[in-house]
Structure formats: C-alpha cells, structure tokens
Amino acid sequence: MSNDSVYFSSRTARKHVESATLLSMKLINLALDKQEQYLEVLRLTGHSTIVSRLDKLLLGINPQTGQADHIITISR
C-alpha cells in the first residue's frame, strides 16, 4: 500500500467517524427535545411503564466506574 492510499483511507475513515459522531449527537439531542412530550403522554394515559429521563441517565453516576461518564462511553 502506498502512502497516498493510506492517507486517503485514514482521511476517509475519519470523515465517516466524524459523520457518525455528528449523527449520534443529533439523535441524542432529538431524544432530549422529545422526552418531555413522551413522558407527558405516559403520565396522561396512566401507563404503568417505568422510564428514566435521558438527561438523568447521561449525567448520572455510572455504578461500574463511580463517575458520571455515560456520555463518554456513548461517544466512544
């Protein structure tokens, strides 16, 4: 493999990773925007499903590490 093809491959891979990361962050943002509506519908219908708020999950303490690192784990 020539240096040019290695550079192209790593540059292309980086673009794919950056694109996937951006889409993941957009998805998380959309879920955060919609969670209040979703929780309100569950409350109004008297549904017995127990749910946790996404913002609490993302910022909460990870019992495995003892740190608030859920967003870092998702980012990886």
Task: Give me the pLDDT at residue 3, please.
Answer: 55
Those residues with Cβ within 8 angstroms of residue 74's Cβ, 6 or more apart along the chain or in another chain: 24, 28, 58
> Are the beta carbons of 61 and 68 closer than 8 angstroms?
yes
pLDDT for the residue 5:
55
Burial of 41 (0-12, 13-18, 19+ CB in 10 A): exposed
Q: What pLDDT is stored for residue 56 in this prediction? A: 84
pLDDT at 21: 86
What would the two tokens of residue 11 be?
């540059």
Q: What is the pLDDT of residue 6?
A: 53
What is the separation, in whole angstroms, between the first and last Cα of the chain?
28
Per-residue model confidence as pLDDT tens digits over 5-64 = 555 578 888 888 889 889 988 999 999 999 999 999 999 999 888 888 888 888 888 888
